[in-house]
Structure formats: structure tokens, C-alpha cells
Chain A
Amino acid sequence: MEHYNMNLTLKVWRQRNSKEKGRFETYKVENISSEMSFLEMFDVLNEKLITEDKEPIAFDHDCREGICGACSMYINGKPHGPWKANTVCQLHMRAFNDGDTIVVEPWRAKAFPVIKDLVVDRSAFDRIIQAGGFISVNTGNAVDANAIPVDKESADKSFAAAACIGCGACVAACKNSSAMLFVSAKVAHLSLLPQGSPERKTRVVAMINQMDKEGFGACTNTNACEAACPKEILVTNIGRLNHEYMTATFTADK
């Protein structure tokens, strides 16, 4: 791999807090190595801003290995930037060329209000999980782990859905700011397992109610979410969610 250095122009959304209006600011960064990660490039910029007595740019990040789901930048019109199945923290600068202009925005959705600069409040996702994204089993109640066999295909599909990192890229990508991919991943994860079956009806209804309450849009099946998902959660999960929802509501007793 050939390494190179580059100079870039960054247009970054700056917003002091949730109440004030934001705007784009332009920054120049120089001598950025193609081996850096995108967030390390931001570290370099922030260090420079601090030494120049300017406010550094706030952005969410933590594990920097693509699993915690904290990082959330909308880069040049795409959640998590140009690479497929990737998070911002794993995006490396070799994705860009010398002289490029990069526009960085926060996730945009009313349900994800901006806290500062590129940091948004995603607690709506936690509340959706609180509504029903769990299996009601207290510690100590469990039977032997091998007491209930689970067919491998279901287990694998369940795992693929459970791989969701809750980053919110699906909401950011969706023209309706819908959280259906996120919700469907959780519903699929749990309803595919026999352990999750007893609560499948109440779960899906409660989670959808909460999703609506939080102000996410409806799903119009454009599949933009799947294309933006760093963990490649499949939109077939949304079909499964719809199925679960219809079964639950149409067969309800009252």
C-alpha cells in the first residue's frame, strides 16, 4: 500500500448547543497521512484549534474499532462516509485525495436533536429498547443452556440482526428519518429465538408505539438504511417486523 500525505478542506457543522442555531465552518488541515483514521484527522484538527485558542469540534466516539456505535458523522452526504459496511472510526484517510473538500454534518432527525456540533442525542433508541426490546427473564431463572435446541439457521439470522450497534446511521440515511431498521433488527433478533417467542406480540407492538412516539418517520422501503448500515443489517428484517406487527395486532384479543 502506497502511503501519501494530503491537504484537505473541511466544512464542518458547528452548533454551540441544542438551542442555538448552527452553521458550517471551513477548516484547512495539512499533511494528513493516508494511514490515519478519519477521527485521528479530527484529533489533529482539534489539537490545532486548541492551540489557536479556538473551540475544538465536539463529536461522539469511543471504541474506535467499529463496535460501540458511538461515532456518527454524515460525511459528504453519506452516513459514516464513503466506505461500505463501515463506521467513521474505521474510515481511513486513504479514502480521500489531496485537495479534497469534505463536508461533515451530524445525524439529522428531529428524534436525534443536536447536543453540540456533531454530537446528537440518541437516547430515543434506549427508550425503544425499554419499551420491549428484551426477554423478561430474571437472573437465576434460566434452564440449562442446551435444554432448548435452536436451529442453526435461525440462530445465525438472529445473530446477524443482533449485530446492530445502535449507531443511528439508518435513521440518518432514511429520507423519512425512520428507525425501522433499528427496531426490526431487535424484533428479528428476539423473535427468531424460541426464548423470545412468548413475548413476541407485546414486544413488537410496544416497540413500534414507542418508535412513533419518539418522532421517527414511517418506512417507505427505499432500502437506503441497509446501504448505510455499518453492520449490513438486512432490510428483510423490516419485512419480518411488519409480519410480526400484523400478526400481533390482527390476532389481538381486544
Chain B
Amino acid sequence: MTWKQVFTSSIGQKITMALTGISLILFLVVHVSVNACIWFNDGGQIFNGAANFLGENAVPRILEVGLFLFLILHIVQGLVLEAQNRSRRGVGYAIDYGNRGSTWYSRSMGLLGTLLLLFLIIHLIDFWIPSRFGVMPETTLADGKQVHNLYSLMQIRFQQGWIVIIYVLGCISLLYHLLHGFYSAFKTAGVYNKRYLILIRWAGYLFSIIVSLGFAMMPVSFYFGWVK
């Protein structure tokens, strides 16, 4: 059994999805925690500092490369699987089994993922590309350090209602993608004990809601001026 055979089998491809998915989940933890710093409501001091820390250090930068690799793998593998799986039926049913046997979002991971991908492109253009490659407004931290003022960028972007709406929609897609993805990833990774599966199920619900709500509240907070 070569590695190629392992990772091109149906389960192997799912394992790729699960492992990359779990690392993206870990990334979301970091991302939402750092971003939550905006709610210190200190004009972005702590938030900009944390963002700068991540951008400046070698370890996060290396991890960032890995993150992108995993992200691309997750996207490509996901799309390939979706296409393969869709081709397995042949003639379709006149009446669909629908929600009687499964949740709509568990059956719509491809769609939700694609929506997330579109959102991600917008999101990267908005923040990541200017921060990495573009010209950014600068700000001075309390210790006198000059850093990118991502905070002010957020303030500017999230003044526009339609952008806020896109972000909230993106977060809703994320919510449902995670509601299934979190649990599914662990099951694909081979968890079968009932007690852990129940734990993962609830942890997944909790995680998905907290993370998605956290992200969604950021643009909303700026838009309504809850943070200044």
C-alpha cells in the first residue's frame, strides 16, 4: 500500500479533508482570539500588537505557509470529492430523501465550502493582501513600535453596510460548515467511541456557534460604533 494509494482511496481523501479541516479549525481559534482583542475598545492597541506579533515572528510565518498549503489542499480535495461523489448516482431520484435522513447542511458541505471560498477571496483582498504586500496606514504602539494599523482598516471597511452583510453571510456559511465539519472530521479521523462522539458533537456545536458569532460580531460592532 503506497502512500499514493492510501491518499487517493475514498477514505484517504476523506482523511485529507479531516486533517486539513482540523488544522483550519485550530487556525480559527487563533484568528478569532486575536481579533477578539478589538473589544478591549482601546483604539486597537492590543489588537494591532497581537496582529503584529503574528506577522513579525518566524514561527507564525512558517505556520502561515503551512496554513495556506492546507487550505488549498482542503479546497482542491473538497472540490474533487464533491465532483466525484456527485457522479456516483447516475439517474437521480424523482423524490428526494431530503431532511428526513440527514441535515441539509451535512449534505451541502460542497456548497457551503464554495461560498466560504468566495468569501475568503474577498476577505483576503480586504485585509491580508494589503497587510502583506500593500501600503498600510501605520500606527504607533504604547512601546513606541511602528506597526500596521489593521484596526483602522477594519474601521474603514466596516463602515459600509453591504460589506458588513457579506461578512455576516460569510460567517453564517462558516457556522453551518463547522456544524457538520467539526464532528465529521473527527469521525473520519477514526473516532468511534460513543462517549467521545457525543462530546465531539456538543463541542462542535459550541465551537461553531462561538467562533461564527464571534467573527460576525466584529464587523457589526464596528458598523454600529460599539468599538471606536
Q: Are B102 and A222 in contact (CB under 8 A)?
A: yes
CB neighbors of A among B177-228 (8 A): 180, 183-184, 187-194, 197
Q: Are B192 and A221 in contact (CB under 8 A)?
A: no
B12 at the interface (CB under 8 A from A): yes
A side interface size, CB within 8 A: 56
Q: Are A218 and B106 in contact (CB under 8 A)?
A: no
What residues on B are CB-neighbors of A222 within 8 Å? 101-103, 106-107, 180
Q: Are B10 and A77 in contact (CB under 8 A)?
A: no
The residue that A216 contacts in the complex, of B12, B86, B88, with Cβ under 8 A, is B88
B109 at the interface (CB under 8 A from A): yes
Q: Are A177 and B15 in contact (CB under 8 A)?
A: no
B116 CB → nearest A CB, Å: 16
A175 at the interface (CB under 8 A from B): yes
Q: Are A246 and B189 in contact (CB under 8 A)?
A: yes
B side interface size, CB within 8 A: 45
The residue that B85 contacts in the complex, of A217, A228, A250, with Cβ under 8 A, is A217
B-binding segment of A86-94, A144-152, A205-213: A205-213
A76 at the interface (CB under 8 A from B): yes
The residue that B106 contacts in the complex, of A24, A103, A212, A223, with Cβ under 8 A, is A223
Q: Are A221 and B188 in contact (CB under 8 A)?
A: yes
B143 at the interface (CB under 8 A from A): no
Q: Are A215 and B188 in contact (CB under 8 A)?
A: no
Chain A contact residues, CB within 8 Å of chain B = 11, 22, 24, 74, 76-79, 103, 105, 108-111, 173, 175-178, 180, 205, 208-209, 211-212, 215-225, 227-228, 235-250, 252, 254
Q: Can you sample 21 A-B contacts with CB below 8 Å?
A: A11-B94, A76-B95, A78-B101, A110-B87, A173-B101, A176-B86, A178-B85, A216-B10, A217-B10, A218-B10, A218-B14, A219-B11, A220-B109, A221-B183, A225-B101, A227-B102, A236-B193, A242-B15, A242-B187, A242-B192, A245-B190
Q: Which 5 A-B pairs have the closest CB atoms?
A: A239-B192, A243-B190, A77-B95, A224-B101, A176-B85
With A110-B90, A248-B1 known, 14 other A-B pairs at CB within 8 A are: A103-B95, A108-B92, A108-B93, A110-B87, A110-B88, A218-B10, A219-B10, A223-B101, A223-B102, A224-B101, A227-B100, A236-B192, A241-B11, A249-B6
